[in-house]
Amino acid sequence: MPTPETSGLLAEQLLRLTRRLQRAQKRHMEPLGITPAQSRLLRTVAHGDQPLRMADLAQRLEVVPRAVTTLVDALEAHGSVRRIADPSNRRVVRVELTDSGRSTLRALREARRAAAEDILAPLSDQQRDALGALLDTLSGAPDHRC
């Protein structure tokens, strides 16, 4: 059975790796003029089967509605999203991707792959496979909250 010290060390290693990956992603996204938070909103909008309401975006992103407004403002200025009125309720605003937004998403995916490659470069194919299997196990594990 793992000791508390081992678990604590693993947690620290995971946190350091996560921070390193976030820094690498930010570095690769910078030329695109998109922040990590904007990238997350774009991915969320892209996964909706229809344009999402601003309130739904806030809920899915787990942020306050004002934060979504700020993100959408910036992405609208960037040309990546547009606000549209809900056809059944004109007071409701929905957000949809533009063609430029879809192109930006493709570039963001490539930036994320490049950032991951920066981090994974020292690993052999066998080590990458083993890491992938371990991460799959951890991702599928139940969340034991206190």
pLDDT in tens, 73-113: 999 999 999 999 988 888 889 999 999 999 999 999 999 99
What domain range includes position 94? 19-115
Q: What is the CATH number of the domain that holds 82?
A: 1.10.10.10
Q: What is the pTM of this model?
A: 0.78
Is there a domain that residue 106 lies in? Answer: yes
C-alpha 93/C-alpha 85 separation (Å) is 5
Q: Which is nearest to 45 in space by CA: 34, 36, 58?
A: 58
First to last CA, the chain: 20
Number of domains in the chain: 1
Within a domain: 123: no
H-type alpha helices, the chain: 4-29, 36-47, 54-61, 65-78, 99-120, 125-140
Dihedral sign computed on CA atoms, order 38, 43, 46, 48: negative
8 part of a folded domain:
no
Domain-located, residue 81: yes
40 within a domain of the structure (yes/no): yes
How is 108-137 classified by DSSP, letter by letter? HHHHHHHHHHHHHTTS-HHHHHHHHHHHHH
Residue pLDDT, tens place only, 49-80: 889 999 999 999 999 999 999 999 999 999 99
